Amino acid sequence: MTRRQGEIGQGGKAGRRAGRRGTALAGAAVAVTLLGSVLLPQTAAATTDAGKKAGGGTKMPAVIDGGAWDAGHVQGMALDRKGGYMYFSFTNLLVKTDLRGNPVGSVTGFTGHLGDLDFDERDGRVYGSLEYKDAESFYIAAFDADRIDRMGIDAQTSDIVSTVYLKEVVADYTADMDGNGVFDGDTADTRDHRYGCSGIDGVVFGPDLGGRGGRHHGTPLLTVAYGIYSNNARHDNDHQVLLQYDVRRWKKYERPLSESAPHTSGPAHADGKYFAYTGNTTYGVQNLEYDAASHNWQMAVYEGKKPDFPNYSLFTIDGTKPAVRGPVRGQPEPEQGRLLTLARQGLYDPVTGVRGWQAPGEYGLVSLDDGLYYVAESGTVEEDGATKQTGRAVLHRWTGRTPNPLAPVRESTR
């Protein structure tokens, strides 16, 4: 298996997008600073202190630099707050830094696509989505975070990484939707792939979206979002699809990462499957995050291209509303599913009923569960005659303002 050219191309595009957005954010920061000093003295004071006090008195820096690497673009981040580490996924490279941005370890040698991440405090592991589309294999990779203590650990020869195969995703990805007996493979230009599934990307731990076991209680479930191909010619690809798994039952499935002989060890089905009507997007939920303070789920995407939809870049699910059974719109055969509710916040498109934001987060989004988020900035630098990919975690405050509810805190502007 080799790296797909499409990924490399997307990385270049990503860098340019981040540059444009960076300029827009700098302007927004000035506006927030001015507003803050006049209208919100308390918030302004808190903002000044944000780098010091974010959550439980732990000092959280305004910027954590993930470094510059000969790798793919930054895909996601995970924070180990107690340990004081940030993890950055660079598509084929996992980098661990301390909170000053000093690299302390890395895991290399992935030939697949490592996407979004999350950290599970219960077992001290970093969980990430890992795709091998050519092999029609989709995994959750779990990294033993404590043991990432040096640079250049090989993903396959070390036992730091274990993987669990997601059969549900494979079944939807490989679905022969036009029934012609041929699966068209890794292409957006087809009617195959149920729900337009291109694989998986966004991952986060959060409460049961079905509301079982008490609305906000019970064990956190690993929540995995589908990638969804951009395709304007079909109507069955207008939902984000989220699977939930209780990973406490996963030990028996875990296998070492073997790219030459991909295994199929994993649960037969997800513990829950949910749909959020947003309109089609380009590769689905890039970053999925849960904010325990607001009970909101954030889904950051690359904008869709359907002219009939608003094509927002960030969608918020209202986690206080358990999923309800209803029709999954646009499917070739009538289908019932568990439907999620978008929060009554942000921009609103009356034609489709879709709500959302024009906001960053598609390269990494981490909630500090107190109104602050780390947002990843993606970029490139020239070093030693080569173009390297950069990723920085930049502290933002959730303001709830439209179109972009995420404003950089004062210290994070340069």
From 3-11, 197-205, 244-252, 313-321, give the range in contact with Ca ion by CB under 5 A.
197-205
The residue (of 165 and 374) whose beta carbon lies closer to Ca ion is 374
Strand pairing class (239-245; 272-277): antiparallel
For 194-260, give the DSSP string: GGGEEEEEEEEEE--TT-TTSTT-S--EEEEEEEE---TT-SS--EEEEEEE-GGG-GGG-EE--SS
Residue 237 as a binder of Ca ion (CB under 5 A): the answer is: no
The residue (of 161 and 299) whose beta carbon lies closer to Ca ion is 299
Residue 7 as a binder of Ca ion (CB under 5 A): the answer is: no
Please pick, from the candidates 231, 240, 282, 286, the single residue that binds Ca ion as defined by CB under 5 A. 286
The residue (of 183 and 250) whose beta carbon lies closer to Ca ion is 183
- Among the listed residues 68, 106, 111, 105, the one whose alpha carbon sits nearest the alpha carbon of residue 91: 111
Instruction: Please list every residue from 117 through 146 that binds Ca ion, using CB under 5 A.
Output: 118
From 93-101, 187-195, 218-226, 311-319, give the range in contact with Ca ion by CB under 5 A.
187-195
Please pick, from the candidates 176, 254, 271, 318, the single residue that binds Ca ion as defined by CB under 5 A. 176
Could you count the other beta carbons within 10 Å of the beta carbon of residue 288? 29
The residue (of 152 and 332) whose beta carbon lies closer to Ca ion is 332
From 36-44, 144-152, 282-290, 335-343, give the range in contact with Ca ion by CB under 5 A.
282-290
Residue 198 as a binder of Ca ion (CB under 5 A): the answer is: no
From 1-9, 72-80, 323-331, 336-344, give the range in contact with Ca ion by CB under 5 A.
72-80
The residue (of 130 and 204) whose beta carbon lies closer to Ca ion is 204
**Cβ of residue 351: shortest distance to Ca ion, in angstroms?**
28
Residue 192 as a binder of Ca ion (CB under 5 A): the answer is: yes
Residue 178 as a binder of Ca ion (CB under 5 A): the answer is: yes
Residue 238 as a binder of Ca ion (CB under 5 A): the answer is: no
DSSP 3-state of 283: strand
CB-count exposure of residue 391 (10 Å: 0-12, 13-18, 19+): buried
Residue 75 as a binder of Ca ion (CB under 5 A): the answer is: yes
The residue (of 36 and 361) whose beta carbon lies closer to Ca ion is 361
Quick one: angle between helices 5-39 and 41-53, nearest 10? Answer: 130
Residue 47 as a binder of Ca ion (CB under 5 A): the answer is: no
Residue 204 as a binder of Ca ion (CB under 5 A): the answer is: yes
Residue 153 — left, alpha, or beta (φ > 0 → left; ψ -120 to 50 → alpha)? beta
Q: Which residue has the tokens 């939707």?
A: 177
The residue (of 25 and 300) whose beta carbon lies closer to Ca ion is 300
The residue (of 370 and 410) whose beta carbon lies closer to Ca ion is 370
Residue 80 as a binder of Ca ion (CB under 5 A): the answer is: no
Residue 189 as a binder of Ca ion (CB under 5 A): the answer is: no
Q: How far is CA 350 from CA 232, 240, 309, 310, 353, in A?
A: 20, 19, 10, 10, 5
Residue 208 as a binder of Ca ion (CB under 5 A): the answer is: no
- Among the listed residues 157, 96, 100, 98, the one whose alpha carbon sits nearest the alpha carbon of residue 126: 96
DSSP 3-state of 11: helix
The residue (of 29 and 301) whose beta carbon lies closer to Ca ion is 301
Residues 6+ apart with CB under 8 A from 333: none
DSSP 218: S
Could you count the other beta carbons within 10 Å of the beta carbon of residue 384? 6
Residue 206 as a binder of Ca ion (CB under 5 A): the answer is: no
Rounded CA separation 352/166 (Å): 32
Please pick, from the candidates 180, 258, 320, 336, the single residue that binds Ca ion as defined by CB under 5 A. 180
In sequence order, the β-bridge partners of residue 98 are 85
Residues 6+ apart with CB under 8 A from 350: none
Q: Which residues are near Ca ion by CB under 5 A?
A: 75, 115-116, 118, 176, 178, 180, 182, 192, 201, 204, 286
